[in-house]
């Protein structure tokens, strides 16, 4: 809202006098200049409507420029062999531990960064993800292979508080993790569009392909809505391969 006021040098008197068309025209100009994303456009227009409603008791109809639902693209998924190749090509022990932890637990990059040593419960073979997206806690199973790798990593690097610490900071940075992934991807020859979040997508898809109930996957990922998790049913090979083509019925 402040950008709206400052960008066009509006005073309170001018704001009251603006017609709906003038408000819409100004909104369009600002959205284009700032190159707002789909979600940012919704937040911006919502703040304009609320501002006029709360301050001037005036209802502003911005539906004509309200963004339609953004197209939902299916995420790129790495196969099991591609994940294996990616981790194999990551030779540095710390880097390998970071990427393996993200994939093995299906973590968001922020969750990996905030993971503490005390969140690893090797007796119960679970990992606690605390105050993640939506301020929610959740528990994820701990893989035997991941535990072994983390023990090797711990003995060599001896982190103090956070599981993965930076050289000059208590936590590893997101940008450094992205660089690690890109360097490893270049070595593998994988041509898919791979991001750190691709490992989380692959974790969920591989669970589904292995027969894990989608509701359990929802809890492991920390999704509020099951529909968010259901997107993986569209990319799981086991789900697609079980469908019989009508051509085979001829």
Catalytic residue among 49, 108, 201, 206: 108
Catalytic entry in 95, 96, 200, 201: 200
Does the annotation count 215 as an active-site position?
A: no
Structure tokens belonging to residue 160: 């103090």
Between 93-105 and 196-209, two packed helices, what is the crossing angle to 10 degrees? 50
Q: Give the N- to C-terminal CA distance of the chain in Å, as an integer.
A: 62
Helix 214-221 crosses helix 196-209 at what angle (to 10 degrees)?
A: 150
The yes-or-no answer on residue 232 being catalytic is: yes
Tokens encoding 169: 């900071």
Question: Known catalytic residue: 200?
Answer: yes
Distance, CA of 35 to CA of 37 (rounded, Å): 6
| Beta bridge pairs of residue 116 | 162
Element (H, E) at 141: strand 138-141
Catalytic residue among 103, 153, 162, 232: 232
Number of H helices, E strands in the chain: 13, 3
Choose the catalytic residue: 58, 116, 138, 197.
197
* Neighbour-count burial of 239, counting CB atoms closer than 10 A to its CB (0-12 exposed, 13-18 middle, 19+ buried): middle
Catalytic residue among 34, 38, 133, 187: 133
Q: Is 57 a catalytic residue?
A: no
Question: What's the CA gap between 180 and 177, in Å, rounded?
Answer: 5
Backbone angles phi, psi at 160, to 5 degrees: -95, -50
Q: Which residues contact 16 (CB under 8 A, 6 or more apart)?
A: 56
The catalytic residues are: 108, 133, 197, 200, 223, 232
């Amino acid at each position: 809202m402040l950008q709206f006021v400052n960008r066009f040098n509006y005073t309170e008197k001018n704001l009251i006098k603006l017609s709906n068309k003038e408000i819409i025209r100004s909104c369009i100009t600002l959205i284009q200049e700032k190159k707002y994303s789909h979600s940012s456009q919704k937040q911006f227009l919502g703040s304009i409507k609320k501002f006029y409603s709360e301050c001037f008791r005036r209802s502003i109809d911005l539906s004509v420029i309200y963004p339609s639902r953004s197209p939902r693209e299916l995420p790129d998924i790495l196969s099991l062999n591609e994940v294996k190749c990616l981790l194999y090509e990551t030779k540095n022990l710390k880097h390998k531990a970071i990427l393996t932890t993200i994939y093995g637990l299906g973590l968001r990059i922020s969750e990996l960064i905030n993971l503490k040593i005390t969140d690893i419960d090797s007796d119960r073979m679970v990992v606690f993800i605390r105050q993640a997206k939506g301020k929610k806690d959740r528990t994820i199973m701990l893989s035997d292979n991941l535990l072994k790798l983390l023990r090797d990593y711990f003995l060599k690097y001896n982190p103090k508080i956070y599981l993965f610490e930076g050289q000059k900071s208590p936590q590893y940075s997101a940008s450094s993790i992205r660089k690690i992934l890109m360097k490893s991807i270049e070595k593998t020859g994988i041509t898919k569009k791979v991001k750190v979040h691709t490992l989380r997508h692959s974790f969920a898809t591989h669970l589904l392909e292995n027969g894990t109930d989608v509701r359990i996957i929802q809890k492991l990922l920390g999704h509020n809505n099951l529909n968010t998790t259901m997107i993986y049913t569209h990319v799981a090979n086991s789900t697609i391969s079980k469908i019989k083509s009508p051509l085979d019925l001829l």
